[in-house]
Amino acid sequence: MLVGVLALQGDFREHLLALAECGVDAVAVKTLEEINSIDALVLPGGESTTIAKLARTFGLFDRISERIRAGMPTYGSCAGMILLADRIEGAMHGQESFGGIDITVRRNAFGRQVDSFEVDLNMVGITAPPIRAIFIRAPWVEAVGSGVEVLASVEINGELHPVAVRQGNLLATSFHPEITGDMRVHRYFIESVCKTVVA
């Protein structure tokens, strides 16, 4: 199995390192040929508007969207979650997403006071101890469709906001496991979502 990490903008290098650490073959992808050659995809954190625009500019947008909808296992962290969402609140004018997960995300949802923060989080599918989740101008999930499983939520002012979701072959987190040194979310993606066993 070859995992591609979309390398147009954002922290794709950290995802490449995390995947390599898990023992899978991972490559940076930024051409149509590369997009066509991979078995699974990771959409990194960064700036969702910029990544979508660059994907359009380089003629990759429709093919990525098509492959995601055709069932290619895909994981998006932070900006990557926004790119996998069917609907975006707080979108820039004309902002597009590849879509695939039946969720509405709110960009920059946590507001100024808690713009960036860390918390220990229990996540369905990840055995104890909790994972250290790092949020950087992160989105949260505002609404989920019936086929979407919520894997983790954060409580803000007494309200629970989903921050990790899965719909079939698609996984998204508001936070950035790629910068923690803890590979359990990447392993979950490889083993449970891609259903590939690595040594």
Rounded least distance, CB 107 to ligand GLN, Å: 4
The rounded distance, in Å, linking the Cα atoms of 98 and 89 is 15
How many angstroms separate the Cα of 24 from the Cα of each of 139, 161, 188, 191?
28, 32, 13, 11
Instruction: Please confirm, yes or no, whether 178 is among the known catalytic residues.
Output: yes
Q: Does 68 bind ligand GLN (CB under 6 A)?
A: no
Instruction: Please confirm, yes or no, whether 176 is among the known catalytic residues.
Output: yes
How many angstroms separate the Cα of 182 from the Cα of each of 43, 90, 116, 131, 190?
18, 31, 19, 8, 14
Segment 82 to 121, residues that bind ligand GLN, using CB under 6 A: 82, 107-108
- Reading the block at residue 42, the tokens are 């990771």
The rounded distance, in Å, linking the Cα atoms of 12 and 177 is 12
Q: CB-wise, 39 or 142, nearer to ligand GLN?
A: 142
Q: CB-wise, 11 or 166, nearer to ligand GLN?
A: 11
Other CB atoms closer than 10 Å to residue 103's CB: what's the count? Answer: 26
The rounded distance, in Å, linking the Cα atoms of 140 and 89 is 10
Which of 24, 26, 48, 163 forms a contact with ligand GLN (CB under 6 A)? 48
Rounded least distance, CB 130 to ligand GLN, Å: 21
Q: Which of 14, 15, 22, 78 is catalytic?
A: 78
Q: Does 137 bind ligand GLN (CB under 6 A)?
A: yes
Q: Which of 63, 11, 74 is nearest to 39 (CA)?
A: 74
Stretch that binds ligand GLN, among 28-36, 77-85, 157-165, 182-190 (CB under 6 A): 77-85
Stretch that binds ligand GLN, among 40-48, 52-60, 66-74, 186-194 (CB under 6 A): 40-48
Q: Does 46 bind ligand GLN (CB under 6 A)?
A: yes
Tell me the CB-side half-sphere exposure of residue 179, using CA atoms within 13 A.
15
Q: CB-wise, 24 or 109, nearer to ligand GLN?
A: 109
User: Where on the chain is the footprint of ligand GLN (CB under 6 A)?
Assistant: 45-48, 78-79, 82, 107-108, 136-137
Catalytic residues: 78, 176, 178
